[in-house]
């Protein structure tokens, strides 16, 4: 991988996961700088991955070729203001924003310059190099896009989007969706405990189901997911009774409605921030 320097500004859950994936993927730790105004989180990312850390965002940006903006959307305007007011030359750097709900034009307005900007919608399984990153840019070179592809490929799969609005769709499909899966697993875990399994057993059992079912999806590309489900579901059997209940409760429609709510919130955030 080409060794540009990347600064992660606001290294919380998401950037921690990306950095973990990068280190697993062989990216040189010396070429990664992380910042956080929270000293404890900063020390953890530095110790865990052996990368450079600083609480000085401006110093980190000054040293970097690529700058990943990874604070919460409501913090982005403040962060950009400090960059703009710092006096450093940032106008030729490539920025990568992982924030939901802030469009390229708005980020450029916050930075008071039409900087090169890539929007990226990653997800936290990036930490296990099993992430998905949706990327969009309309003002970077092929070489810059190639570098971003290399970076995020180290954390999982990468898909380039041709329209910026598709970022909101991919938030619903891959950015937020690990949480839907975790909620489902939490529900099974909770019921397992109610049935009398102790906490350790419940966690182990649910975890193994998650890994086993995911592996079956990943390793059976010729079988549809619904076929895998059918293979568990004996006619007139126990699974059929459980699935019938979920269907009566409109699980499929509920998930679709949840994904629409996710997209609607991203659109609303575009007006808010």
Ligand X SMILES: NC(=O)C1=CN([C@@H]2O[C@H](COP(=O)(O)OP(=O)(O)OC[C@H]3O[C@@H](n4cnc5c(N)ncnc54)[C@H](O)[C@@H]3O)[C@@H](O)[C@H]2O)C=CC1
Ligand Y SMILES: O=C(O)[C@@H]1CCC=N1
Dmax over CA atoms of the chain, in Å, equals 71
Q: Tell me the residue number closest to ligand X, measured at CB.
A: 12
Positions 78 through 97 that interact with ligand X (CB under 6 A): 79
Residue with Cβ nearer ligand X (70 or 137): 70
* Among 14, 33, 64, 107, interactor with ligand X by CB under 6 A: 14
The minimum distance between CB 180 and ligand Y, in angstroms, equals 11
Please report, to the nearest 10 degrees, the dihedral formed by the alpha carbons of residues 159, 161, 165, 168 taken in order.
Answer: 0
CB nearer ligand X, residue 247 or residue 272: 272
Minimum gap (Å) between residue 17 Cβ and ligand Y: 11
Torsion of the alpha carbons at 268, 270, 272 and 273, rounded to the nearest 10: 150
Q: Where are the alpha helices (DSSP H) in the chain?
A: 13-24, 39-49, 57-63, 73-85, 104-111, 142-153, 166-170, 177-194, 199-219, 225-232, 238-248, 251-272
Distance CA 55, CA 39 (A): 8
Identity of the residue, 88 or 261, whose beta carbon is nearer to ligand Y in the bound complex: 261
- Asked whether 160 and 145 are in contact (CB, 8 A), the reply is yes
> Of 68-76, 136-144, 210-218, 228-236, which segment contacts ligand X by CB under 6 A?
68-76
H or E segment at 171? none
Return d(Cα 271, Cα 106) in angstroms, integer. Answer: 10
Binding partner of 151, given ligand X, ligand Y, none, CB within 5-8 angstroms per partner class: none
Radius of gyration of the chain (CA): 21
> Would you say 43 and 55 are in contact if contact means Cβ atoms under 8 Å apart?
no
Q: Which stretch binds ligand Y (CB under 6 A): 45-53, 169-177, 200-208, 253-261?
A: 169-177
Please count the other Cβ atoms lying within 10 Å of the Cβ belonging to residue 27.
21
Q: Which is nearer to ligand Y, 20 or 175 (CB)?
A: 175
Q: Of the candidates 10, 134, 156, 175, which one interacts with ligand Y according to CB under 6 A?
A: 175
Query: Measured between alpha carbons, how far is residue 204 from residues 177, 185, 192, 197 in Å?
Result: 22, 11, 11, 10
**Shortest Cβ 267–ligand Y spacing (Å):** 13
Q: What does 25 interact with, of ligand Y, ligand X, none (CB < 5 to 8 A by kind)?
A: none
Instruction: Specify the residue, 25 or 73, whose C-beta has the smaller distance to ligand X.
Output: 73
Q: Which of 144, 31, 147 is nearest to 92 (CA)?
A: 144
Rounded to a whole number of angstroms, the minimum distance from the CB of residue 59 to ligand Y is 27
Give the nearest residue (CB) to ligand Y.
175
When asked if residue 71 is in the footprint of ligand X (CB under 6 A), the reply is: yes
Q: How many residues bind ligand X (CB under 6 A)?
A: 24
The C-alpha angle with vertex 70 and arms to 67 and 74, in degrees rounded to 5, equals 125
According to the binding rule CB under 6 A, does residue 175 interact with ligand X? Answer: yes
Binding site for ligand Y (CB under 6 A): 100, 171, 175-176
Binding site for ligand X (CB under 6 A): 10, 12-14, 35-38, 41, 57, 70-73, 75, 79, 98-100, 121-124, 175
């Amino acid at each position: 991988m080409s060794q540009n320097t990347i600064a992660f500004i606001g290294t919380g859950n998401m950037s921690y996961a990306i950095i973990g994936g990068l280190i697993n993927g062989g990216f040189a730790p010396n070429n990664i700088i992380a910042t956080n105004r929270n000293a404890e989180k900063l020390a953890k990312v530095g110790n865990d991955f052996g990368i450079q850390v600083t609480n000085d965002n401006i110093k980190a940006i000054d040293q970097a070729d690529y700058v990943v903006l990874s604070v919460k959307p409501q913090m982005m305007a403040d962060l950009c203001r400090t960059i703009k007011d710092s006096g450093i030359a940032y106008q030729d750097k490539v920025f990568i924003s992982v924030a939901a709900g802030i469009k390229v034009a708005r980020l450029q307005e916050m930075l008071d310059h039409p900087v090169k900007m890539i929007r990226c919608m990653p997800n936290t399984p990036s930490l296990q190099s099993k992430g998905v990153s949706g990327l969009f840019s309309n003002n970077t070179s092929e070489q810059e896009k190639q570098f971003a592809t290399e970076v995020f490929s180290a954390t999982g799969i990468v898909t380039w989007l041709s329209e910026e609005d598709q970022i909101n769709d991919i938030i619903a499909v891959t950015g937020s969706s690990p949480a839907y899966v975790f909620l489902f697993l939490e529900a099974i875990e909770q019921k397992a405990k109610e049935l009398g399994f102790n906490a350790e057993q419940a966690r182990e059992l649910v975890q193994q189901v998650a890994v086993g079912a995911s592996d079956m999806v990943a390793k059976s590309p010729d079988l549809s997911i619904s076929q895998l489900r059918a293979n568990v579901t004996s006619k007139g059997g126990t699974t059929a009774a459980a699935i019938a209940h979920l269907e009566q409760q409109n699980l499929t429609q509920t998930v679709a409605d949840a994904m629409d709510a996710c997209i609607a919130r991203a659109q609303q955030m575009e007006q808010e921030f």
